[in-house]
Amino acid sequence: MQDSFEVSASTGTYAVTVGDQLLADVVREHPNAVYIVDTILEDRLPPEAKRRIRIDALEANKSLEYAPHLISELRKAGADRSTHLVAIGGGIIQDVVTFAASIFMRGLPWTYMPTTLLSMVDSCIGGKSSINAAGYKNLVGNFYPPKKVLVDVSFISTLDAEMIAGGLFEAAKICYASNYQAFLDYLACSPGLKMTDEQAVNVIRHSLLTKKWFIEIDEFDQKERLLLNFGHTFGHALEAATDFGISHGVGVGLGMLVAAQYAKRETELTDAGKDHVAHLIEHVKDMIGPRAERVLQSPAHVDLDLAMEKFEFDKKHKSDSYRIVIPNREGALALVSVSKTPETRRKILGAFSAAFDEISWPYQIPQVVTPA
Amino acid sequence: MQDSFEVSASTGTYAVTVGDQLLADVVREHPNAVYIVDTILEDRLPPEAKRRIRIDALEANKSLEYAPHLISELRKAGADRSTHLVAIGGGIIQDVVTFAASIFMRGLPWTYMPTTLLSMVDSCIGGKSSINAAGYKNLVGNFYPPKKVLVDVSFISTLDAEMIAGGLFEAAKICYASNYQAFLDYLACSPGLKMTDEQAVNVIRHSLLTKKWFIEIDEFDQKERLLLNFGHTFGHALEAATDFGISHGVGVGLGMLVAAQYAKRETELTDAGKDHVAHLIEHVKDMIGPRAERVLQSPAHVDLDLAMEKFEFDKKHKSDSYRIVIPNREGALALVSVSKTPETRRKILGAFSAAFDEISWPYQIPQVVTPA
């Protein structure tokens, strides 16, 4: 069971294969590659993969300060201009290897095997890295796609429910950002916390093919691709405000909920718009709302004033306006600029509160303090 | 007095202007840019350039380990996605800013003003960075050309004779690598340690237009552009063996001399080949040989065994062969692979010795020790 398609980038075309049991094939094809693997997955690597570098998938290692260590490990492993790298891991491993592969001797070819659902449905294509620097999250990064992406659904068995839910939120985001029909098609693939390998392949393929349109039309994040920030600006704020007690994927789910509540409260939605937004809200609630199986623990409390403070500092904003992706009147997504006024801040805080009310998660009542 | 032309890169076309007194114009055009300037040139920056970051042009700062500091300075200076950077300095400043500009928020637009002759005649176009990492020189780097290159010959007055000679060696290298006629045209521009602004503009323009052909036909260093490594593999070894007592530009001059001696001794040159190689040797000797004005001090001694050891470790070699650029039978340059044998090592050491004999510089007699 496997399926392949191609993604075009300015640096050339790369093939994406979604299937199971792909790891052994890679090692057969690249016996002399340097394998860079998430430490907790190293025991899955066949012994034939001799040159290997382990990386702990920690936020601290996804940093410019950590890069010299990895470069030094590559040098010690004997990497030269002709060396192929194979990265095996989730988003952190992908970020670190995208960056290191792009700069080592001015660029090595590499293969990427995503191992978290989030990286399988979303980040594995597009070629972006996000790297922390000087204490700032994702302040630096670049574009350097792999030569080949191999999505092996066998790795899903290593994930817990929260990681699966997080991945599905990113997939839902991509499909909803594309159009309502793509979102319905996604739901028809039976996304859920327990999927068969075949269901997983279908969900991943649909999500990646939907994302492919965005990255081919807008490789460098200038226009269409910006819609894929849906849920992210609010979500990042919640991740940061809980000191990353809320994971990235769940943050995106909550962020979509905040954006949907903002649209419900501040936009005159058409009947179709109301319907689409409600459908999105239901999907998020199914996973983390009061009806969910409680696989996701809500944090002890969320301080929405702190979330608002984090939101203020998002690097995508302009000096006088917030830039957020929210449903328009028809329920379709749009990147909008909203003036930074006390009134706007109240509206955004209101949307945050309404989102948490919707899923019955506890939060600290916001004070609506206006920053100087 | 100024002249402009364009260079095409995969990321777009950029304009190169060669002239004098260009700095004031830049500051007028980009009052809100962040200016990243070599510390020793800061007093040349008009007060209107308010946002400024100083960098000491030290080898240690041209490193992956230094990058977080510059990223942090950019953040403190308030740089965001729309910020324009202006870099003012020689090759080290260019390397550091190429790298930082390429990764800060995944890439900022920038303008480069080279201030050493070496960067004016050569490195300012091509978009490459070379960065030290984990204790290895130039182990990492990338391609990220500026939007605009402004070569202001007024900066030449800040340079000493050794820096001017080094720049001229790079220019001579580019022209000789192109073809013999380009080398003759270069000599007709009156390159020398004391040039009028007009002569300097002519030398720089001829060198850059000659280099433009190489980088447009081979942006990513796959083929033709590799000829521009002429003099560099031998030169780097001499720089490293003297603990950088021999500067980069002078190293390139000496490296061309070593390559020319290798060709004279090991290749059956045609009459034209003999003539072209002899002409190149004469030009280098004019600058640093016994006939030169002794503006260049030879180091106390050069240990050629150590130089050979450094040569062995050049990252451009393959596991079983050296890769060097040397004149072929006709005197034109070619990238050749030479088997790593004791015989080859003896030949290379012989060329090193002959080059130093030619200019009457002292060196330690090589022992021709064969590495294990």
ipTM (interface pTM): 0.85
Q: How many CB pairs under 8 A join A and B?
A: 87
Q: CA-CA distance, B197 to B189, in Å (whole number)?
A: 12
Question: Residues, chain A, total?
Answer: 372
Predicted pLDDT of residue A269: 97
- Predicted pLDDT at B57: 96
Question: Of A69, A107, A134, which has the smallest distance from its Cβ to B71's Cβ?
Answer: A134
Element (H, E) at A85: strand A85-89
| For chain B, percent of residues with pLDDT exceeding 70 | 96
pLDDT at A17: 97
A128 contacts chain B (CB < 8 A): yes
Length of chain B: 372
Task: Please give, rounded to a whole number of angstroms, the shortest distance from the CA of B69 to a CA of chain A.
Answer: 7
Residues B353-358 have a mean pLDDT of 93
When pLDDT is averaged across residues B220-244 and rounded to a whole number, the result is 91
pLDDT tens digits, one per residue of A59-78: 999 999 999 999 999 999 99
Question: Residue A51 — very low, low, confident or very high, per pLDDT cuts 50/70/90?
Answer: very high
pLDDT band at B372 (very low <50, low <70, confident <90, very high): very low
- The mean-pLDDT minimum among A95-109, B139-153, B276-290 falls in B276-290
pLDDT band at A100 (very low <50, low <70, confident <90, very high): very high
Query: Is B313 in the A-facing interface, judged by CB distances under 8 Å?
Result: no
Sequence-distant (6+) residues with CB within 8 A of A94 are: A87, A112, A114, A119, A123, A124, A129
Is B106 close to A141, i.e. CB distance below 8 A? yes
Tell me which residue of A252, A219, A231 sits closest to A9, measured CA to CA: A219
Please tell me the distance from the alpha carbon of residue B299 to that of residue A168, in angstroms, as a whole number: 65
Q: Which of A251, A275, A282 is nearest to A359 (CA)?
A: A282
C-alpha A323, offset from chain centre:
19
Reported as a single tens digit per residue, the pLDDT across A301-332 is: 789 999 999 999 888 898 899 999 999 999 99
SS3 letters across B201-231: HHHHHHHHHHHHHHHHHCCCCCCHHHHHHCC
Residue B191 C-alpha, separation from nearest chain A C-alpha, in angstroms: 33
Rounded CA separation B138/B155 (Å):
26
Rounded to whole angstroms, the Cα distance separating B120 from B97 reads: 16
- Chain A hits for B142, CB-CB cut-off 8 Å, are 102-103, 106-107, 142
Once rounded to an integer, what is the mean pLDDT over residues A94-122? 97
| For range A29-43, the mean pLDDT | 97
Model confidence over B13-45: pLDDT tens digits?
Answer: 999 999 998 999 999 999 999 999 999 999 999
B220 pLDDT exceeds 70?
yes
Average pLDDT over every residue of B355-366: 86
Question: Hey, of A73, A74, A103, which one would you mutate to test binding to chain B, going by the most B CBs within 10 A of its CB?
Answer: A103
Q: How far is B113 from chain A (nearest CA, A)?
A: 23
Spatial contact of A110 and A85, defined as CB atoms under 8 Å apart: yes
Q: Which of A356, A117, A368, A121 is nearest to A254 (CA)?
A: A356
Q: Give Cα separations from B73 to A118, A364, B100, B145 (angstroms).
A: 33, 35, 11, 21
CB within 8 Å: A68 and B71: no
How much is the CA Rg of chain A, to the nearest whole Å? Answer: 20
Mean pLDDT score of chain A: 92
Q: Does the beta carbon of B133 lie under 8 angstroms from any beta carbon of chain A?
A: yes
Residue B108 pLDDT exceeds 90: yes
Residues 250-279 of A with CB under 8 A from B: none
Q: Quick: pLDDT tens for A183-241.
A: 999 999 999 888 999 999 999 999 999 999 999 988 887 888 899 999 999 999 999 99
- Give the best residue of A83, A140, A222, A319 to mutate against chain B (max B CB count within 10 A): A140
User: Burial letters for A295-326: b for 16+ Cβ neighbours within 10 Å, e otherwise?
Assistant: ebebbeebbbbbbbebbeebebbeeeebebbb
Return the SS3 of A69: helix
Q: Does A142 touch chain B (CB under 8 A)?
A: yes
Q: Is the pLDDT of residue B294 over 60?
A: no
Q: How far apart are CA B348 and CA B352, in angstroms?
A: 6
- The stretch A293-304 carries a mean pLDDT of 72
- How far the first Cα of chain B sits from its last, in Å, is 58
- Between CA A1 and CA A151 the distance in angstroms is 12
Closest CA to A357 of A305, A277, A285: A285
Burial class (CB in 10 A: 0-12, 13-18, 19+), A95: buried
For A80, which of B81, B131, B315 is closest by C-beta distance? B315
Do A142 and B143 make contact, defined as CB atoms within 8 angstroms? no
Mean pLDDT of B97-117: 97
Ordered domains of chain B (ranges, CATH): 2-157 (3.40.50.1970), 230-364 (1.20.1090.10)
Q: Residue A89 is inside which H or E element, if any?
A: strand A85-89
Cα distance from A153 to chain B (closest Cα, Å)? 30
Residue A361's pLDDT is what? 84
Distance from CA of A80 to the nearest CA of B (A): 7
How many Å apart are CA B364 and CA B102, to the nearest integer? 43
DSSP assignment of B51-62: SEEEE---GGGS
* Cβ–Cβ contact A218 with B under 8 A: no
Q: Least CB-CB distance to B106: which of A71, A103, A142?
A: A142
Q: How distant is the Cα of A129 from the closest Cα of chain B, in angstroms?
A: 8
Would you call B103 and A141 a contact, using CB atoms and an 8 Å cutoff?
A: yes
Give the pLDDT of residue A372.
Answer: 45
Band of residue B369 on the pLDDT scale cut at 50, 70, 90 = low
Which pLDDT score is estimated for B339?
A: 95
